[in-house]
Amino acid sequence: MFSRLIGNEEVKDALRHLLASGRMPGSLLFTGEAGIGKKLFALELAKALNCRNRVGVEACDECSSCRRINNSIFPPFSDVKDNNERMIWSEHGDVAMVRPYKQIIRVRPMRELEREANFRPFEGAARVFIVEDAEYMNDQAANALLKTLEEPPATTHLMLTTTNPTALLATIRSRCQVIRFAPIAAGQIEKFLVDEKAMSAGDAALLARTSQGSIGRACASDLDDYRERRGAMLAVLQALTITGNRVSLLRSAEGLGGARDRADYEESLAVLEALIHDAWALHLGRPAETIVNSDLVNDLEKIAAELSSRKAASWLSEIEELRGTLEVNINKRIASDALLMGMAAA
């Protein structure tokens, strides 16, 4: 049932309405940030379409069809490349998924989908095919999907998920009904982490605020790693505003530039931006409980006292400019030196 999913009540109402109308579109496009539950909603809809004992318009969660879709495990990638570029069937004979392998969806699984979409349901009332992260389709895969979208059988439903709908062909978007997902409220994420993950209230509150509305990101985050990274970035701001210690700043630049890879580097920059936003908010008189890193409010208030709006805006602009160059294989150490020295001169 949709009630077991966290957040996006408007989406739940829209899907219930579609189910009640009996006019479920053949193709749906679920858009929104990563980790907010788009695939879970697609699976819940697959259950409702195939449930043998619906409760109103929703899945009962008790019949064999619901249980098998609920228990569906889409396995991790294997060492055999051939197995990773195939459509994956769930435990239910009418529900399958295509997902990217090494950030690309090739044509082979889409041709499998095209072929299977033409068959009548094997055991349920509808065949459901989920294309996860559809923005990673290459041109051949997108064109193969387009053929399926043009005339899907009445008993076939395609559900695409994406964080970047503009990366899809306009002809694909035009053939799908778009369902937009919003970030999940921090309070809902915090409650889930405490109730379902047995997390302490303090840790849950911090993860909920730093997850940017993504319950998946909150569950996957390593708090120890985050706190270590945040401590290093806090030292940067303290050196820039309170101590003026250039030696400390150069050490911080060295640590920042020593990131393992682009993702690691970008994560540190994102944490630095969040701390600047928090200090700026305190400088402007915002309540301490509204900031992301409220457990560091004492340190951030000291930074805020030495901060100006002009300086904060300039720093954020410099960081964003650097992040915009990360598509190119830049030297992170040189870039980090330039960034922090530029921030010191602002």
The CATH number covering residue 260 comes to 1.20.272.10
pTM of model > 0.85:
no
First to last CA, the chain: 54
Cα–Cα distance measured from residue 82 to residue 208, given in angstroms and rounded to the nearest whole number: 39
Tokens of 213: 């509305």
| Nearest alpha-carbon partner for 276 in 213, 335, 331, 346 | 346
Residues 13 and 92 in one domain: yes
Residues 85 and 97 in one domain: yes
Residues 232 and 265 in one domain: yes
Its domain, for residue 324, covers 223-345
Model pLDDT for residues 308-325, shown as the tens digit of each residue: 999 999 999 999 999 888
Averaged over 282-309, what is the pLDDT?
92
What is the reported pLDDT for 152? 80
Residues 6+ positions from 239 with CB-CB distance below 8 Å: 245, 246, 248, 249, 252
If one compares 246 and 15, the residue with the highest pLDDT of the two is 15
Residues 168 and 62 in one domain: yes
CATH code, domain with 77 = 3.40.50.300
Residues 157 and 242 in one domain: no
Q: Does residue 291 contact residue 282 with C-beta atoms inside 8 Å?
A: yes
Residues 48 and 195 in one domain: no
Tokens of 287: 């309540």
Residues 203 and 278 in one domain: no
Cα–Cα distance measured from residue 267 to residue 271, given in angstroms and rounded to the nearest whole number: 6
What is the reported pLDDT for 324? 86
Mark which of 172, 193, 221 sits at the end of a domain: 221
What is the reported pLDDT for 78? 62
What is the reported pLDDT for 81? 65
Averaged over 333-343, what is the pLDDT?
92
What is the reported pLDDT for 127? 95
Residues 153 and 189 in one domain: no
Residues 210 and 241 in one domain: no
For the chain, the average pLDDT equals 91
Model pLDDT for residues 150-159, shown as the tens digit of each residue: 888 889 999 9
Residues 247 and 109 in one domain: no
What is the reported pLDDT for 17? 94
Residues 6+ positions from 219 with CB-CB distance below 8 Å: 35, 193, 197
Averaged over 323-342, what is the pLDDT?
87
What is the reported pLDDT for 75? 67
Residues 271 and 159 in one domain: no
What is the reported pLDDT for 246? 85
Model pLDDT for residues 142-151, shown as the tens digit of each residue: 999 998 898 8
Residues 28 and 158 in one domain: yes
Cα–Cα distance measured from residue 254 to residue 256, given in angstroms and rounded to the nearest whole number: 5
Quote the number of domains for the chain.
3
Mark which of 182, 209, 237 sits at the end of a domain: 182
Model pLDDT for residues 32-75, shown as the tens digit of each residue: 999 999 999 999 999 999 999 999 999 999 999 999 898 876 76
What is the reported pLDDT for 177? 95
